[in-house]
A and B are shown apart, each in its own frame.
Chain A
């Protein structure tokens, strides 16, 4: 008596594996050589054709591009140094805790007299750094574990995947919390590592799922029949083809890691050094002024929402475009 339920496995794994299944269609593109010249339309080409006309994707792309532009040139654009308390003399904890707008300081200052407008602009820089590096580290960790599990089988695979299961069973925020608390000296890098660690098991499972499918696909079987080395099969044939859904996931993780950074700052576990502002940190710190000066929270919150929206829109439309089903 075989058990029908076995097939379904753990629901969460299933979900991640569903994502993995999306790589099916893109198999042919990268290394099936001759097929490329064939008159058929490759998935990526067709995806791009549709993306170009997709307003959702274009909105996401515009927001993201603007954000990256702002982040790269933040220092040039910002009228003032975000770390210097120009208006410190006007700060009085009782009578004037937060100096209001005045010429040259369109949004006023924060509680130590630093130009709030400049801090918002420069904040994009650290926000981008946190988002990109958290995603990158999470991706790298996930790649290593996922490839290890997906390329091998047997006990290495089970060991890695059980470890991934344990990580998945801890509530994500708590995992991030504890890692940032473990750091001997809290900084933006501990924040980044904390957020990245939470993503590692997700990426690992995703990658393993797609690689498993690759393992039984024709081109891998063909390569194996030709006697190509195992490492070369893994890295030249399996990994590149398994990356599609991982990249989609990465786009979305960019958004969530910016939001997670804000959550950790809200709980008091962000980067305590605020001379290099970051939006999540600004939002977290603004909690104590939120009653009388809600604008200190609203602006960074709005920035976070818009940028997270941008990444999400882009990721979602990428996912849709790469989904072979939607080619119909």
Chain B
């Protein structure tokens, strides 16, 4: 097990290095660039030359890459030029990532909490109202562009009916920041109004973002439960007269959850992509939002950190999913 994890981690490092090189080349081949983004219409050829020299962007690309890697190994990812000029790029990541985790975690919990029970019930009572409702919801969830759903939610719940805030992470009340997880921070410092405000701001974006994993998890759960219900061991258990609860917990769900867990892991990538759009609609200051800003301002330092970090998160989550197999699948565990 340990050896497996280590091997996978080493593999990951290889992928990350390859990615950093590709990323570096790609960023530098983007038209425009930091210099234009910083100078805007004020730029003259002189100021441009001066700035790109000062930033080291006039050197050959391989020299730039070697320098970049040298600094990266020392833990220096460079200063931001567009998102928050002067700030350390990694610091920006650390400060904004909690927002995205908060949002994605809330979304995935929401999706799982609704989709798995619903998928189970849908499979048990095939063709019932629950089944049909679930299928329709999941189909629409797949077909609707997430930013449009986000807008619809905002339009009705925030603007028309004024039930929830339209954007942002928190009202501008005075809150102490500890971890930058706003909900947690409020609990830690006992500023419960801060937690409450953060929670209210989280609902709409999380619902919008949850639409993607919900659809997938519901369908996989339903299909997988249907498969398992057909299996001999379940019929045997039923024939033995075991209590429904035992059958559900021991036999059906434990076996049906395996593909579901895989799917949840796979949704991390989709969640990150969805977060870029959702965070933008709701002005939710996470890395999705930051990614877009750094992209449009050609903030190389921040882009590099964010993309590599996003890829690392993606790979690590999938590793965790693989490990969780061991926990869920008795065959793997007993061997």
The short answer to whether A and B are in direct contact, CB under 8 Å, is yes
The answer to whether A267 and B325 touch across the interface, beta carbons within 8 angstroms, is no
Q: Classify chain B: how many residues form its interface, as a range.
A: 35 or more
Measured in the bound complex, the distance between the Cα atoms of B315 and A171 in whole Å is: 11
Measured in the bound complex, the distance between the Cα atoms of B329 and A4 in whole Å is: 11
- Asked if A192 is at the interface of the complex by the 8 Å CB criterion, the answer is no
Residues facing A in B262-279 (CB within 8 A) are 262-263, 265-266, 269-270, 272-273, 276-277
A-B contact count (CB 8 A): 136
Q: How would residues 223 to 261 of chain B score, 1 for a CB under 8 Å from any chain A CB and 0 otherwise?
A: 000010000000000000000000000000000000100
- Asked if A263 is at the interface of the complex by the 8 Å CB criterion, the answer is yes
A168 nearest in chain B by CB position: B269
The answer to whether A182 and B26 touch across the interface, beta carbons within 8 angstroms, is yes
B146 nearest in chain A by CB position: A263
The answer to whether A305 and B143 touch across the interface, beta carbons within 8 angstroms, is yes
A179 nearest in chain B by CB position: B26
Q: How would residues 33 to 49 of chain B score, 1 for a CB under 8 Å from any chain A CB and 0 otherwise?
A: 00000000000000000
The answer to whether A173 and B273 touch across the interface, beta carbons within 8 angstroms, is yes
The answer to whether A169 and B31 touch across the interface, beta carbons within 8 angstroms, is no
B273 nearest in chain A by CB position: A173
Residues facing B in A4-26 (CB within 8 A) are 4-6, 8-12, 14-15, 18
The answer to whether A308 and B142 touch across the interface, beta carbons within 8 angstroms, is yes
B227 nearest in chain A by CB position: A325
The answer to whether A171 and B273 touch across the interface, beta carbons within 8 angstroms, is yes
A2 nearest in chain B by CB position: B335
Interface size for A (C-beta < 8 A) is: 49
B326 to chain A: which residues have CB within 8 Å?
4-5
A309 touches which of B140, B291, B315, B335 (Cβ 8 Å)? B140
Residues facing B in A128-177 (CB within 8 A) are 162, 165-166, 168-174, 177
- Asked if B214 is at the interface of the complex by the 8 Å CB criterion, the answer is no
Measured in the bound complex, the distance between the Cα atoms of B307 and A300 in whole Å is: 32
- Asked if A178 is at the interface of the complex by the 8 Å CB criterion, the answer is yes
- Asked if A234 is at the interface of the complex by the 8 Å CB criterion, the answer is no
Among B142, B277, B307, find the residue whose CB has the most chain A CB atoms closer than 10 A.
B142
Given A12-B265, A172-B273, A182-B30, answer yes or no on A267-B280 (Cβ-Cβ < 8 Å). yes
B325 to chain A: which residues have CB within 8 Å?
5, 8
Residues facing A in B1-43 (CB within 8 A) are 1, 3-4, 14-15, 18-19, 22, 26, 29-31
Q: Give chain A nearest CB distance to B283 CB in angstroms.
A: 14
A304 to chain B: which residues have CB within 8 Å?
143, 145
- Asked if B57 is at the interface of the complex by the 8 Å CB criterion, the answer is no
Q: Which of B68-76, B91-99, B110-118, B147-155 contacts A (4 or more CB under 8 A)?
A: B147-155
B27 nearest in chain A by CB position: A178
The answer to whether A181 and B31 touch across the interface, beta carbons within 8 angstroms, is yes
The answer to whether A12 and B266 touch across the interface, beta carbons within 8 angstroms, is yes
The answer to whether B295 and A171 touch across the interface, beta carbons within 8 angstroms, is no
B148 nearest in chain A by CB position: A301
B276 nearest in chain A by CB position: A173
- Asked if B170 is at the interface of the complex by the 8 Å CB criterion, the answer is no
Q: How would residues 293 to 326 of chain B score, 1 for a CB under 8 Å from any chain A CB and 0 otherwise?
A: 0011000000000010011001100100111011
The answer to whether B142 and A266 touch across the interface, beta carbons within 8 angstroms, is no
B265 to chain A: which residues have CB within 8 Å?
11-12
- Asked if A290 is at the interface of the complex by the 8 Å CB criterion, the answer is yes
Q: Give chain B nearest CB distance to A63 CB in angstroms.
A: 11
- Asked if B144 is at the interface of the complex by the 8 Å CB criterion, the answer is yes
Q: Give chain B nearest CB distance to A226 CB in angstroms.
A: 38
- Asked if A98 is at the interface of the complex by the 8 Å CB criterion, the answer is no
Q: Give chain A nearest CB distance to B59 CB in angstroms.
A: 21
Residues facing B in A243-274 (CB within 8 A) are 255, 259, 262-263, 266-268
The answer to whether B332 and A5 touch across the interface, beta carbons within 8 angstroms, is yes
A297 to chain B: which residues have CB within 8 Å?
148, 151
B139 to chain A: which residues have CB within 8 Å?
309, 312-313
- Asked if A184 is at the interface of the complex by the 8 Å CB criterion, the answer is yes
A178 to chain B: which residues have CB within 8 Å?
26, 30, 295
Among B148, B227, B272, B296, find the residue whose CB has the most chain A CB atoms closer than 10 A.
B148
The answer to whether B15 and A169 touch across the interface, beta carbons within 8 angstroms, is yes
The answer to whether B292 and A6 touch across the interface, beta carbons within 8 angstroms, is no
Given A169-B314, A170-B311, answer yes or no on A309-B143 (Cβ-Cβ < 8 Å). yes
The answer to whether B19 and A170 touch across the interface, beta carbons within 8 angstroms, is yes
B292 nearest in chain A by CB position: A267
Given A4-B335, A267-B280, answer yes or no on A10-B148 (Cβ-Cβ < 8 Å). no
- Asked if A95 is at the interface of the complex by the 8 Å CB criterion, the answer is no
B314 to chain A: which residues have CB within 8 Å?
169, 171
B277 touches which of A6, A165, A173, A294 (Cβ 8 Å)? A173
The answer to whether B318 and A10 touch across the interface, beta carbons within 8 angstroms, is yes
Residues facing B in A291-328 (CB within 8 A) are 294, 297, 301, 304-306, 308-309, 312-313, 325
The answer to whether B19 and A174 touch across the interface, beta carbons within 8 angstroms, is no
Given contacts A12-B265, A259-B144, 16 further A-B contacts (CB under 8 A): A3-B1, A5-B1, A6-B4, A11-B318, A15-B263, A15-B266, A162-B14, A169-B315, A170-B310, A171-B273, A174-B307, A182-B30, A182-B31, A266-B145, A309-B140, A309-B143
A–B complex contacts, Cβ < 8 Å, 5 sampled: A5-B332, A169-B15, A170-B310, A266-B145, A312-B142
Q: A: which residues have CB within 8 A of B?
A: 3-6, 8-12, 14-15, 18, 162, 165-166, 168-174, 177-178, 181-182, 184, 255, 259, 262-263, 266-268, 280, 283, 287, 290, 294, 297, 301, 304-306, 308-309, 312-313, 325
Report the 5 A-B pairs with minimum CB-CB distance, sorted nearest first: A173-B273, A308-B143, A169-B311, A309-B143, A11-B321
